[in-house]
Amino acid sequence: MNKIRLALIGVGDMGTGHAMGFDQIENCEIVWVADPSESNLARAMPYIRRNNPGIVASYLELLEHLDTFDAVVISLPNYMHRDAAVPFIERGKHVFLEKPVAPTLGECDEIIAKAEAAGVILQIGLTYRYSNIYRRMRRELDAGRLGDVTMMWCKEFRDPFPPVDWFYDASKSGGALIEKDCHHFDIFNWMIDSKPRRVFASGGQHVLKDGQPNVITNSYTHYETRTLTSTSIVDHAWVIVEYENGSKANLGLCMYLKPRNLMDEGLEIGLLGSNGGQMIAKKDKTIDIFGPEDRSRDHIDLDHESDSVNGGHTGSQRQRHAFLNSVATGEAPYANGRIGRDALLVALAAERSIKEERYVYISELS
């Protein structure tokens, strides 16, 4: 099989991860890298060791070289997703697009409609869909381990976003719940296996407040500490999601821990079932399943390394292999545009609920 030729658009933090990951896969070739930032390129290019891509400052320059690549991998700020993705979709190129699909439903729907009309692959970077741990959780549910999932929770307690302006500008990122928690809303949708009906959320700014000097330190990126005074996103929230089948899910978000989440459970995602059983995932590494009636406890340590690269996001390397397989075979991605849209709907409803202090019905948005 001929190698699938890729153009990487954006090599910031996520894009550098993709550069590293795709470079290690033999059945693809990185032929272009597009990024206007010299510092991004200087950091990312050393990770590309097996390939020798051309470099351009603007992704628009790639439109002059359409016959040299088959697909694009877009890792740009959220507000740029629509403008970057659509020109390539319209020209028949397959697209791997980082999450969220877009910061607005209109832009999201345009991207999806264009991809469906063009008949190209559109895969969204909802990496948990490809993770060993969450796929195992889904398999346990399919085996009837909990009966029906009736309640879920997610404790997303963490340090701030990187000190980059667009993260803190809701008009560009969509807001904290869109930028960060579309991942977790997707897990709710996936495990509960029902359509969200309505959302209620309460949130605000406890520590990282607009108009004051906020010293931002982030534990997982290369950015140095920086002081930001403008922020229009929440730094905390509680979100309740109600589903058409009656199930409920609750997400807690905190964005100001220092230096990061040091609690033993780390990221915690839990499920309760109609048969009284319980299942909890911690740190993207382990699952514990309790009961129901026999008071049993199964502790499962998952392989959390083979589906990623060098400690990157869980499922990150498997999603790259899956994208290449979809391009080669035409098989629909597991994390397709419609899946991404469903997660975005919950996040959009949560952001609106905070602003308007009320339940927001999904039907209002879609």
- From the list 291, 265, 294, 287, the residue with the least C-alpha distance to 278 is 291
Residue 337, pLDDT above cutoff 80? yes
Q: Write down the pLDDT at residue 294.
A: 83
Residue 52 CA from chain centroid, whole number: 28
pLDDT (0 to 100) of residue 189: 98
Report the amino acid identity of residue 114.
K
Closest CA to 256 of 233, 232, 229, 236: 236
At 209-259, the pLDDT tens digits run 999 999 999 998 888 999 999 999 999 999 999 999 999 999 999 999 999
pLDDT digits (tens, 9 = 90+) for 36-88: 999 999 999 999 999 999 999 999 999 999 999 999 999 999 999 999 999 99
| 144 SS3 class | coil
DSSP string over 219-272: SSSSPPPEEE----S-SEEEEEEEETTS-EEEEEEE---SSS--STT-SEEEEE
- Per-residue pLDDT, 222: 85
Mean predicted confidence (pLDDT) in 324-353: 98
Q: What are the pLDDT digits (tens) for 278-335?
A: 999 999 999 999 988 888 899 999 988 889 988 789 999 999 999 999 999 999 999 9
Count the alpha carbons within 13 Å of 38 in the hemisphere toward its beta carbon.
Answer: 0
pLDDT exceeds 70 at position 203: yes
Hey, what domains does the chain have and what are their CATH numbers?
A: 4-127+323-329 (3.40.50.720), 129-304+336-365 (3.30.360.10)
